[in-house]
Every structure is written in structure tokens, then in C-alpha cells.
Amino acid sequence: MSLIGSEVKPFSASAFHNGEFIDLTDANLRGKWSVVCFYPADFTFVCPTELEDLQNQYETLKALDVEVYSVSTDTHFTHKAWHETSETIGKIEYVMIGDPSHVISRNFEVLNEQDGLADRGTFIIDPDGVIQTVEINAGGIGRDASTLVNKIKAAQYVRNNPGEVCPAKWEEGSATLTPSLDLVGKI
């Protein structure tokens, strides 16, 4: 079953953010665009490269009114320790959510039950808390955060322009499509 078009399921969790522990719920994923990025575990190998890449896009994402949340099945305490001991992770300014209960990972259908770890899942969520994109990668395949920017711009465009859609490789300012009978078979 696809999560596209479904609302984020209820959760509550503790997180590490800007040197503090904070509490979050699914309500935090409403009211603005969100990117939720699941990764297997702290103190690993591919994960810090992805999280640093996400940090490198963070200012651009914030300018698009997007908040970023990373999630692993580690605790918020582990996130703090990793943030304090890794030069790479120490750069992170976005929220790092702990999911030791696996509730969030199960809600987003990224939990590898056998390992007790989250798969590499990226979700773009609109201000109504509805999932607009889902990307799941195998454990050994890192993600490129720069691809999120165009996906978010496209999702925002479609939301703000009902009846129009964005074709492959769409970039802001490019032509869109308006599906109709006249367009069938012409592309």
C-alpha cells in the first residue's frame, strides 16, 4: 500500500535540536512543508554523509518554508552524543528525532523488523500533514539531498496551481502541463 496522499499517523517522540532535548508529535509536521529523512543508525558510515548533505541543503530548504527532521531508531541521547563527537554531525542544525519504540518507523513503513533499524526513507509532507513523495533506498545506497529542492518546488507548484502538473525534470519557471483530452497521445 502506498503512503502517497495519506496523512501522517500520530506519534510522539523526543529529539535533539540545537543543543537541547525537545518533544515532538505529528502535529509538528503540519502548518508548513516537512522533509522526514529516516536512516538506519548513528555512528555508522553512509548515514553521516547523507545527513551532512541534507545539512548542506538546509538553508535552501528553509527558504522554501520547509523544516527537516531526521529519524533513526536510536535515542535522542545517542543523537546528542553523535552530534558532540562527530565533526560531520556536529554541523547539523535540523531536528534529530529518536525512535527507539519504532512507532514512527512503522508509521512510515520503513522499519526493517529483523534488524530493528529504519530503512533509508525520505518523505516530503505538505502543510496539511499529507505525504506527497516517498523515496526508499537500500541500506548501501546513499541519497542526494539536492534532488529534494526541485521535488519540493514541484509539489508546492502543483499545490498552488490546481489542474497543472509538472513533467519529468521540471524546474521552477519551466512549462507545466494541463491534463485534458486534447493532450492525450500528443506527448
Name the helix (H) or strand (E) containing 81: helix 76-85
What do you get for the CA distance between the two ends of the chain, in Å? 29
DSSP assignment of the chain equals ---TTPBPPP-EEEEEETTEEEEEEGGGGSSSEEEEEE-S-SS-SHHHHHHHHHHHTHHHHHHTTEEEEEEESS-HHHHHHHHHH-TTGGG--SEEEE-TT-HHHHHTT-EETTTTEE-EEEEEE-TTSBEEEEEEE-TT----THHHHHHHHHHHHHHHSTT-B--TT--TTS--B---GGGTT--
- Is 47 catalytic? The answer is yes
> How far apart, in whole angstroms, are the C-alpha atoms of residue 134 and residue 122?
6
**Which three cell numbers, joined as nine digits, stand for 155?**
509539489
From the candidates 8, 35, 36, 47, give the one annotated as an active-site residue.
47
Q: Which residues are catalytic?
A: 47
